Amino acid sequence: MLRPILTRWSGPNLAAVAVIATVVALGVRVEVLASGGFYWDDLILFGRAGTHSLWSWDLLAYDHDGHFMPLAFWTAALVTTIAPMSWPAAAVSIVVLQALAAWGVWRGLRALCDGAPGAERADRSTPWVLAPFVLYLFSTLTVPADAWWAAALNTLPMQAAAGAIVADAIALCRTDDPRRRRILIVRSAVFFVLALGFFEKSLAILPIALVAVALWQHSRLVGAGAGARRPVRGLAAAWKGAAGLWLSMIAIALCWILAYLAVVADRPGGHQLRQTWLLVWRSLNQGIAAASVGGPLRWLSGWGQTPPVALPATWLLVIGWLVIAAIALWAWRTRVDAILPLIAVAGYVVGAQVVVLWQRSSAGTVLELAQTYRYLPDSALVCAFGLALIIAAPRRSGTATPRRATQLAVGVAVALAVIASVASTARFGDAWHQQGTQQYLNTARKSLADKRDARMIDQPVPALVLAPLAYPNNLASHVFAALPDRPEFGRWTDELWYLDDHGRIDPGAIYPVRQAAALGGSCRDPEVAGPVRRRLDGPLLALTWVAQIPYCADGAGEVAVGAVGGPPVVAPVQPGLHVLYVQFDGGGLDLQIAPRTPGLRLHLGTIAIGSGVGPRL
């Protein structure tokens, strides 16, 4: 029943079905994006876009927590330049990248299945490429990364390039036309460079593509009866058929590694083997196993501002492992050397998690990190390639063609997995919507626009929006730099305003930790005509402080304020009685104040120094 229908879905018809599936899958993801918003690293992306020019080397070569991703920063800067801090604009860029990823993966899957040998006609296995493609499109393994702008800019170009490079490598193995071969090599090399520009993990495209093509070649050799079933022959054929591409990619990878090492600073260790294993197991159990049947079905809204955490039920995990075991058993019993793609997939999924999670395995790393699926999108791609290779592998002699009832059962199982995936995606969207970063940004954007003519002392955004570890990218002057309608952030102001944890701007205050008593003098007889040191009632650590300086000036001018030995901050003063707030760096027992305008005289009141700006109580 199902196979005759699938057999007629070939060529343009098959592509049309793939397009329809892609559009539906994109529609499901758009629903998640519609209720989402910016999160964590996204603020660094558009913040740096607002503080650096589009072609600034400091923007492109920024060491972002161990990542070297110049094209991700450039793309974010371009979107921010067109529409500053606009989530709809960022969401559009995500959808475009999702469509490109679907295109690339489809090309790769079609190439792996087209022309593969089978017990019957080769083209009969091709329509079944829809199964791994549809499962990839709707897989929950890719949902969290696709909803998070920074993560999407990393992983989606990698997926698109991996699929396109696999397709081009197989095309190279099939053609002897020199011009065609040059085009394929150059095109794939460009894809590889672009993917690396978005994410250094794209280095994995080289082994992914080489192994996939080697297994494809192995199946062809076995299906053609070319001697003993030795995998090394498939590897040799894959290398020979696309040697120019592999050598080009190796050269690009080596150059990229050198650039990465030159840009990214080494970070201290503190990794734990046991913690790594626990994180990897959770990725496999609550991640791969649950997603194999459309799970997790339930997401816990992250504590604070963290991404949703997958909470699959035990029964779902049991079913997931049984399905994985059933696929492995079916492949082993019905397909020649199906153990090879199974080993390749398992090796990549486990190996990739070990490499990434080892870097995150400090004593303070919570195990729930592995349940956010943030490191699993490329595993969805590799699983799809592995399933395609198994489907297209030569059938064992004596293995009967699956009956219509079996084919129908497989189709129903895929449909149920897709339905469960859609339900899981919808519930992820509900949980993701509860993280409050976008609400904070929306409120702050309106508040800042209302105070566009004011001047504000710089301050960090709430720690639950962006942690102090991101300094200086967590400062309001960085986060909101791209907004055209906002106050000017600086190191001095005549009126103190406080941006609260909800994004509202209220009158601010200094909570003093040190003071400097007023000296003699008055507004009629100002005592400060040159540089003076004001002794504090206790020492200051060498940090960033805000001084509240009541003054009375006999005219307009400028003064320099700062800790002795620290960089001074130059601020204007106005005639009459006013208050000046100055943010300075340094410490010690003295605050130095020096008029810079010739003839300027000031009378100073009691100076209060605090660690930052807070709400007025």
Residue 123: per-residue pLDDT:
40
Residue 120: per-residue pLDDT:
38
Instruction: Give mean pLDDT, residues 106-112.
Output: 94
Three-state DSSP state, 526 = coil
Instruction: Give mean pLDDT, residues 206-224.
Output: 90
Residue 335 β-bridge partners: 395
Residue 400: per-residue pLDDT:
60
Instruction: Give mean pLDDT, residues 504-526.
Output: 91
Residue 70: per-residue pLDDT:
96
Q: By C-alpha distance, which of 197, 172, 173 is closest to 187?
A: 172
How many Å apart are CA 335 and CA 428, to the nearest integer?
37
CA separation, residue 423 to residues 224, 282, 294 (Å): 44, 22, 8
Instruction: Give mean pLDDT, residues 387-400.
Output: 81
Residue 611: per-residue pLDDT:
87
Return phi, psi of residue 571, to 5°.
-135, 150
CA separation, residue 359 to residues 17, 269, 271, 349 (Å): 41, 8, 7, 16
Residue 224: per-residue pLDDT:
67
Length of the chain in terms of residues written: 617
Min mean pLDDT across 347-351, 402-406, 412-416 is at: 402-406
Name the pairing type of β-strands 532-553 and 455-457: unpaired
pLDDT higher than threshold 60 for residue 313: yes
Per residue in 246-285, pLDDT (tens digit) is 999 999 999 999 999 999 877 666 677 888 899 999 999 9
First to last CA, the chain: 75
HSE-up of 335 (CA within 13 Å, CB side)?
29
Share of the chain above pLDDT 90, in %: 73
Instruction: Give mean pLDDT, residues 156-184.
Output: 95
Answer yes or no: are the C-beta atoms of 110 and 167 closer than 8 Å.
yes
Share of the chain above pLDDT 70, in %: 92
CA separation, residue 532 to residues 154, 580, 588 (Å): 54, 17, 15
How many Å apart are CA 93 and CA 351, to the nearest integer?
30
Instruction: Give mean pLDDT, residues 12-25.
Output: 89
Instruction: Give mean pLDDT, residues 148-166.
Output: 96
Using pLDDT thresholds of 50, 70 and 90, give the confidence band for residue 222.
Answer: confident
pLDDT higher than threshold 70 for residue 403: no
Instruction: Give mean pLDDT, residues 492-503.
Output: 93
Which domains can be identified in the chain, with CATH numbers? 2-38+85-433 (no CATH), 509-615 (2.60.120.260)
Answer yes or no: are the C-beta atoms of 387 and 136 closer than 8 Å.
no
Instruction: Extract the tokens encoding 15.
Output: 């592509």
Q: By C-alpha distance, which of 506, 515, 521, 502 is closest to 462?
A: 502
Using pLDDT thresholds of 50, 70 and 90, give the confidence band for residue 454.
Answer: very high
Q: Give the chain's mean pLDDT.
A: 89
Q: What is the dihedral sign for C-alpha 112, 115, 121, 124?
A: positive
Min mean pLDDT across 125-129, 400-404, 462-466, 499-503 is at: 400-404
Residue 304: per-residue pLDDT:
56
Per residue in 336-384, pLDDT (tens digit) is 888 999 999 999 999 999 988 888 777 667 888 889 998 999 999 999 9
State the maximum Cα–Cα separation within the chain, in Å, rounded to a whole number. 109
Residue type for position 40:
W
Instruction: Give mean pLDDT, residues 4-33.
Output: 80
Instruction: Give mean pLDDT, residues 568-594.
Output: 95
How many Å apart are CA 493 and CA 367, to the nearest integer?
45
Using pLDDT thresholds of 50, 70 and 90, give the confidence band for residue 3.
Answer: very low
Residue located via tokens 């990364």:
145
Using pLDDT thresholds of 50, 70 and 90, give the confidence band for residue 45.
Answer: very high
How many Å apart are CA 512 and CA 547, to the nearest integer?
9
Using pLDDT thresholds of 50, 70 and 90, give the confidence band for residue 12.
Answer: low
Three-state DSSP state, 9 = coil
Residue 221: per-residue pLDDT:
83
Cβ neighbour number for residue 394 with a 10 Å cutoff: 25
HSE-up of 303 (CA within 13 Å, CB side)?
3
pLDDT higher than threshold 60 for residue 9: no
How many Å apart are CA 139 and CA 425, to the nearest integer?
9
Instruction: Extract the tokens encoding 198.
Output: 């978005």
Using pLDDT thresholds of 50, 70 and 90, give the confidence band for residue 495.
Answer: very high
CB within 8 A of 261, min separation 6: which ones?
none
